[in-house]
């Protein structure tokens, strides 16, 4: 954008050129169509000013005191607010500072981190690609995987995805945990079947003595949340969960001793509960041993598994990612259960030192969920509407440990692509439900949708978004990790007494996120102008076809909008990442009908931006604004 000195009350002028990749995108769409129907600085506190930018006088009189009070109360460095009413941009102002260390005023055009509001741009970009190929949006309902998928398994780079799916299914369903009881050495196996049952047997026959026994979990936990289970020498069952907690109980009630629960278990550096393969108690010492995906094991107390880290090797021909669970017998032998229904016996560091692989069988009345079938039905629509069944996040660190063993995972993770992050998720994360049957928020699903666009068009996602959405609308957005310039506000973090501290050089991005799911930057003005291009108002063109916009805003099941959150009366989204937060809404009912609001700040500190956004919408509904007032004619 033009970074010369400007009148702070006017938006910046921009002179856009045709992107050099535009021809590549045209060719990619044509080809696809043939195949498819700084340093930390202390805050110098200065009174909040009445802002820069413009707005209708009546609305400004209502909003200036509301916003300035909010900035002072929340100790914000700066904030941007933009409002449209009946298809017209009627307010675009900024308050406070873009950089508290220099006291540079926030401008309406400054870019800030918008967090998960990036998913709106992700969805619009994917839908633009879909309607460019087929106005009936057939692309949205094509399977992702398989021979005829958008990522066809007939091509070597995608064939591995099917093997990853099989590995993940074998690891996570139907068995969620195994223990070996002190004294009797009975093997107790827990399942994720609907009734939540366990069986009792031996390592070679898991239901030799009984099956169908019911078990209970702590409140808020499900079978898929279990990451490790172990029977202690004194007869209790300890269970470790994906959220980092641990419970203590009995065979049938995993929370029978609530006083023994621990909210946050300590793990070794670079490890967390999500990376657990299993836990077992050495019966001779009472120490708890834990094994992790990257081929390391540790031991300590049930609540502190962070010490005594060393490496281990699985059975010959196996990978740590093939391990379903582990348990320790009375003689301290470690039994390892693999996803293909085999078992080995060994030490904590050599898992088949005593006995190589032999067969076992799960309970006869338990059937693994048909994940292969579920994956075969997973579509782009599922990804965009948070109905794919993926967990909320994958893990760049987990993926780095999988694909770059021996390297510093935090370094390797910075360059880990979405393909490998997705392969890790398929191999190491459970599919939570059948695609299209439920809705649960998933950053990973949104990122995969953007990655599919990259694969289809052979262009980076940001280039596709620029060419199809951002450049046509003259929206000045970029990625959070791109070099900062004079068009960017500085990210801030809370310092002493929650005073904002500028962190140009010390506000890193979360390596588990991508620009598709949470790391675009832009202004409130950008976001309202985007919503104006999606409002189906006949007075100006929209970025998507009417049928596409209707599809984007239609729920197939509760909460399943593409890109948006909310309902028919208010479509909204918010976002928060280190150094920035945002909240946007498009109001369709009641007194607020026809109003859009965007609020963007350069800090994240548990702000209730949604409440402020709704107050701003109420003020816009109250204000009498001339029909010819429009900052964006």
d(CA 1, CA 633): 20
β-sheet bridge partners, residue 247: 239
Sorted by sequence, the CB contacts under 8 Å of residue 525 that are 6+ apart come out as: 11, 80, 82, 89, 92, 108, 109, 598
Spatial strand order of the sheet with 112-113 comes to 112-113, 520-522, 478-479
Q: In terms of Cα–Cα distance, which of 214, 533, 564, 554 is closest to 363?
A: 214
Residue 252 has pLDDT above 90, yes or no: yes
What domains lie within the chain, and their CATH numbers? 26-37+41-141+445-622 (3.40.710.10), 174-359 (2.110.10.10)
What the block records as the tokens of 308 is 């005594």
DSSP state of 295: S
- Provide the 10 A C-beta neighbour count for residue 597: 30
Tokens of residue 478, six digits = 């970029």
- Please, which residues bridge with residue 522 across strands? 112
**Angle 175-285-324 (CA atoms, 0-180°, nearest 5)?**
15
CB 131 within 8 A of CB 545: yes
pLDDT of residue 147: 93
Strands 342-346, 197-202: pairing kind: unpaired
* Residue among 430, 356, 367 nearest 393 (CA): 430
Q: Report helix, strand and coil shares of the chain as percent, to nearest 5.
A: 30, 25, 45
Side-chain-side CA neighbours of 88 within 13 Å: the count stands at 13
Nearest to 114 by CA among 608, 460, 603: 603
- Eight-class DSSP state of 483: P
pLDDT tens sequence across 496-528: 888 999 987 678 777 777 777 788 999 999 999
Cα 87 to Cα 119: distance, rounded to the nearest angstrom = 23
pLDDT digits (tens, 9 = 90+) for 556-610: 787 789 999 887 789 999 999 999 999 999 999 899 999 999 999 999 987 889 9
Burial of 86 (0-12, 13-18, 19+ CB in 10 A): middle
Structure tokens at 350: 């050599």
User: What pTM did the predictor assign?
Assistant: 0.88
> What is the length of the chain?
633
Q: Virtual CA dihedral for 421, 422, 424, 427, nearest 10 degrees?
A: 180
Interacting residues of 7 by C-beta distance below 8 A, sequence separation 6+? none
pLDDT tens, 349-383? 999 999 999 999 999 889 888 999 999 999 999 99
State the Cα–Cα distance between residues 476 and 473, nearest whole angstrom.
9
pLDDT at 9 over 90: no
Q: Where are the alpha helices (DSSP H) in 134-239?
A: 156-172
DSSP 61-103: HHHHHHHHHHHHHHT-SEEEEEEEETTEEEEEEEEEEEETTTT
- Cα–Cα distances in angstroms (integers) from residue 389 to residues 59, 275, 304, 561, in the given order: 43, 20, 32, 15
pLDDT score recorded for residue 505:
67
The predicted pLDDT at position 364 comes to: 86
User: E strand or H helix at 411, and its extent?
Assistant: helix 409-412
Could you tell me how far CA 537 lies from the centroid of its own chain? 32
Contact 518, 577 (CB under 8 A): yes
Quote the tokens at residue 13: 């002028």
Q: Each residue of 269-323: pLDDT tens digit?
A: 989 999 999 999 999 999 999 999 999 999 999 999 999 999 999 999 999 999 9
Distance CA 631, CA 626 (A): 12
Distance (Å, whole) CA 456 – CA 201: 49
Whether residue 442 is predicted with pLDDT greater than 70 in this model: the reply is yes
Average pLDDT, the chain: 90
At 116, phi and psi to the nearest 5? Answer: -70, -10
pLDDT in tens, 531-549: 999 999 888 899 999 999 9
């Amino acid at each position: 954008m033009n970074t010369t000195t400007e009148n702070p009350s006017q938006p910046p002028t921009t002179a856009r050129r045709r992107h050099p990749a535009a021809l590549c995108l045209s060719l990619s769409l044509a080809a696809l169509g043939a195949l498819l129907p700084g340093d930390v600085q202390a805050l110098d506190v200065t009174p909040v000013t009445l802002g820069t930018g413009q707005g209708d006088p009546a609305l400004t009189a209502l909003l200036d005191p509301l916003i300035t009070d909010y900035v002072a109360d929340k100790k914000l460095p700066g904030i941007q607010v933009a409002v449209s009413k009946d298809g017209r941009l009627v307010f675009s102002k900024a308050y406070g500072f873009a950089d508290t260390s220099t006291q540079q005023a926030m401008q309406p055009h400054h870019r800030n981190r918008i967090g998960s509001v990036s998913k709106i741009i992700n969805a619009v970009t994917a839908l633009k690609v879909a309607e460019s190929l087929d106005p009936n949006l057939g692309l949205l309902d094509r399977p992702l995987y398989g021979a005829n998928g958008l990522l066809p398994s007939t091509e070597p780079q995608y064939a591995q995805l099917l093997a990853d799916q099989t590995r993940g299914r074998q690891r996570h369903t139907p068995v969620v945990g195994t223990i070996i009881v002190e004294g009797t050495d009975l093997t107790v196996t827990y399942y994720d079947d609907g009734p939540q049952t366990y069986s009792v047997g031996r390592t070679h026959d898991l239901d030799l003595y009984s099956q169908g026994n019911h078990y209970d979990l702590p409140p808020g936990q499900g079978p898929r949340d279990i990451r490790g289970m172990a029977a202690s020498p004194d007869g209790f069952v300890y269970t470790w969960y994906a959220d980092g907690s641990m419970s203590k109980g009995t065979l049938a009630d995993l929370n029978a001793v609530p006083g023994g629960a621990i909210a946050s278990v300590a793990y070794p550096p670079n490890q967390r509960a999500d990376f657990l393969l299993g836990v077992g108690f050495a019966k001779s010492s009472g120490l708890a041993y834990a094994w992790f995906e990257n081929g390391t094991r540790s031991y300590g107390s049930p609540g502190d598994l962070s010490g005594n880290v060393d490496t281990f090797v699985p059975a010959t021909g196996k990978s740590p990612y093939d391990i379903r669970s582990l348990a320790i017998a009375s003689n301290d032998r470690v039994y390892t259960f693999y996803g293909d229904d085999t078992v080995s016996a060994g030490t904590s560091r050599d898992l088949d030192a005593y006995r190589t692989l032999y067969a076992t069988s799960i309970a006869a009345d338990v059937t693994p969920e048909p994940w292969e079938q579920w994956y075969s039905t997973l579509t782009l629509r599922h990804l965009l509407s948070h109905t794919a069944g993926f967990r909320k996040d994958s893990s760049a660190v987990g993926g780095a440990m999988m694909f770059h063993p021996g390297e510093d995972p935090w370094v390797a993770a910075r360059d880990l692509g979405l393909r490998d992050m997705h392969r890790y998720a398929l191999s190491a994360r459970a599919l939570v439900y059948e695609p299209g049957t439920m809705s649960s928020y998933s950053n990973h699903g949104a990122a995969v949708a953007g990655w599919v666009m990259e694969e289809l068009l052979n262009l980076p996602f940001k280039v596709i978004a620029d060419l199809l959405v951002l450049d046509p609308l003259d929206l000045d957005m970029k990625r959070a990790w791109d070099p900062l310039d004079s068009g960017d506000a500085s990210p801030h973090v809370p310092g002493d007494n929650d005073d904002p501290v500028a962190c140009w050089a010390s506000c890193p991005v979360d390596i588990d996120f991508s620009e598709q799911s949470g790391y675009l930057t832009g202004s409130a003005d950008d976001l309202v102008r985007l919503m104006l291009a999606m409002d189906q108002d006949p007075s100006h063109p929209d970025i998507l076809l009417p049928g596409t916009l209707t599809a984007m805003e239609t729920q197939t099941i509760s909460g399943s909008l593409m890109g948006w959150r909310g309902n028919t009366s208010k479509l909204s989204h918010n976002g928060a990442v280190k150094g920035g937060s945002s909240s946007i809404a498009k109001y369709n009912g009641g007194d607020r009908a026809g109003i859009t609001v965007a609020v963007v700040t350069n800090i994240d500190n548990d702000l209730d931006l949604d409440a402020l956004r709704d107050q701003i919408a109420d003020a816009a509904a109250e204000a009498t604004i001339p029909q010819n007032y429009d900052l964006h004619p």
